Amino acid sequence: MLKKYSLDEYVQMLNISNPNENEFNNIVNEFSYFKTNTGTGKLSNYNFERGLLVYLLVGKLKPKNILEIGTGSGFSTLCMAMAMTDFELDGKIYTIDYLPHGEKTTQHYKKSEKSLERFASREEIWNLQNKPKWIEKIEILTGYTSESFHKHELPLFDFCYIDGGHYYSAVKNDFFTTLLGSNDNCVFLLDDYIDKPEFDVKNFVDNEIATKFNVDLIDTDKSRNIDEQVWVTKNDYGMCFIRGKKDELIEHFGRKEIERYVDNHRKFEKRLKLRNDLNKKIPFMKNIRFSKFLR
């Protein structure tokens, strides 16, 4: 059952103090911008309201162990670390991404209202923030979801933020994997509920979660300040908050089915990792389809 809220409505319901304005705006400008692929060269910011929401949810729910799938630039990671510091929570954020923390990429940011670009790693930019108390709250895991759970001994999680691969099998695997690794009363937050090609969070939530469990859909772009060439949906959009009993969710899907799905997806991740490693070493291989050799 899907219940829709505006961000303002949800913030009012949470009834938690907002983050320090200067600190929050600083990480918005440093981490939440990216350049659209429309050829306009325009910098867009679709993320800052999501950062506010995860900050407030952490402050309200006070989780001890947080899992984030999809670190990206680290904007949401730092918003949650700021919340854990501000609310004096004794806990840890485990964040998973296939991109190594020290690998340099092109990044876009704003300073004094100017749009700027840099080639740097996530690690370098985080360190420039000079926020050791935030960084101490974060444990960085490099790899894919099932791979990371298989390789590392992780605690049971109280809060899971899923923003990794957006195709159906990845979304389903990320949810199943975090469900198995969660506490009894864990909550889940899924990003990018949107009607857009190759984005299947909406399909997964509509078809497999909201048919039986309560889902809060929070509109996290109330301004709709979006490049019209990129914005491809006029339908519902936002982040999905799911609060369900672990045993009820497992019973709904079936433990054996969950474990089978996660195991099969881990095999797919191994093939994907092999392909990506080859693409880095031999760039022209990107244009060659050879999935039949990876079975």
- Boundaries of every domain in the chain: 2-251
Residue 137 near residue 91 (C-beta atoms within 8 A):
yes
Over residues 92-109, mean pLDDT: 94
Residue 207 structure tokens: 């078809």
Side-chain-facing half-sphere of 14: CA atoms under 13 Å: 24
Average pLDDT of the chain is: 87
* pLDDT attached to residue 282: 63
Integer-rounded Cα Rg, in Å, for the chain is 19
List Cα–Cα distances, 276 to 23, 141, 210, 214, in angstroms: 36, 18, 34, 37
Each residue's pLDDT tens digit, 106-123: 988 888 888 889 999 999
Answer whether residue 42 shows pLDDT above 80: no
Strand partners, 105: 120
Lowest mean pLDDT among 39-43, 52-56, 117-121, 164-168: 39-43
Q: Domain 2-251 maps to which CATH number in 3.90.950.20, 3.30.420.40, 3.40.50.150, 3.40.630.30? A: 3.40.50.150
Range in 134-148, 266-280, 281-295 with the lowest mean pLDDT: 281-295
Q: List pLDDT tens digits, range 229-267.
A: 444 445 678 999 999 899 999 999 999 999 999 999 999
Among 104, 139, 142, 99, smallest CA distance to 125 is for 104
- For 48-84, write each residue's pLDDT tens digit: 889 999 999 999 999 999 999 999 999 999 999 999 9
Nearest to 169 by CA among 240, 237, 264: 264
